């Protein structure tokens, strides 16, 4: 067992999970703020140079875990590790956001899909893409093909 504690919290327009856009073709363009704890502000030095960040966070209002579930983007069940379901063995979320601006310990970002007040565990720079021609997107690509053949 490992213990982790929030380095800060997300400010997001979403107060309820039902407000978060989901399903095939969803684009996450909502603006939000990553509010890092004041005493950790030094850890943000030079982050302004990166256009995109990984945010690792906690699904703190999700309960239980299911190994097989049907995501909003498909009508068929898939394994939890092949989806972004909140009902995971460890309720950890991962989101790529675009960094718009930094104001001291606050990072103004675009692309939040977390609830307001979501605890943040870590922030890392997004350094490189996977080579696009080698990227395969499994059941998601299949579900898209069935919907828009």
State which residue, 98 or 116, has the beta carbon closest to its own copies.
98
State which residue, 5 or 148, has the beta carbon closest to its own copies.
5
- Residue 25: partners with Cβ closer than 8 Å, 6 or more residues away: 144
Residues 27-56 that bind its own copies (CB under 8 A): 36, 40, 42-52, 54, 56
CB of 116 to its own copies, least distance (A): 18
- 71 vs 53: CA distance, rounded Å: 25
Q: Does 58 bind its own copies (CB under 8 A)?
A: yes
Q: Does 24 bind its own copies (CB under 8 A)?
A: no
Per-residue interface string for the shown chain with its own copies, residues 99-138, x marking contact by CB under 8 A: --------------------x-xxxxxxxxxx-x-xxxxx
Q: Which two tokens stand for residue 95?
A: 């989101």
- 28 vs 41: CA distance, rounded Å: 26
Q: Which two tokens stand for residue 101?
A: 């601006």
Q: Which two tokens stand for residue 98?
A: 């675009």
Residue 84: C-alpha distances to residues 10, 40, 45 (Å): 18, 28, 30
Give CA torsion, residues 134, 27, 12, 42, to 10 deg: 30
Per-residue interface string for the shown chain with its own copies, residues 66-105, x marking contact by CB under 8 A: -xx--------xxxxxxxx---xxx-x-x-x-x-------
The residue from 26, 141, 146, 147 that contacts its own copies (CB under 8 A) is 141
State which residue, 18 or 130, has the beta carbon closest to its own copies.
130
């Amino acid at each position: 067992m490992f213990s982790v504690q929030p380095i800060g919290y997300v400010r997001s327009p979403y107060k309820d999970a039902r407000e978060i856009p989901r399903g095939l073709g969803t684009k996450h363009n909502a603006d939000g703020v990553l509010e890092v704890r004041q005493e950790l502000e030094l850890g943000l030095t030079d982050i302004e140079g990166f256009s995109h960040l990984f945010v690792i966070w906690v699904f703190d209002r999700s309960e239980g875990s299911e190994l097989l579930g049907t995501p909003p983007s498909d009508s068929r069940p898939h394994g939890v590790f092949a989806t972004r379901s909140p009902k995971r063995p460890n309720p950890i979320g991962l989101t790529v956001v675009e960094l718009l601006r930094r104001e001291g310990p606050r990072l103004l970002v675009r692309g939040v899909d977390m609830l307001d007040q979501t605890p943040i565990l870590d922030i890392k720079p997004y350094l490189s893409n996977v080579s696009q021609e080698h990227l395969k997107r499994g059941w998601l690509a299949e579900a898209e093909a069935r919907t828009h053949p």
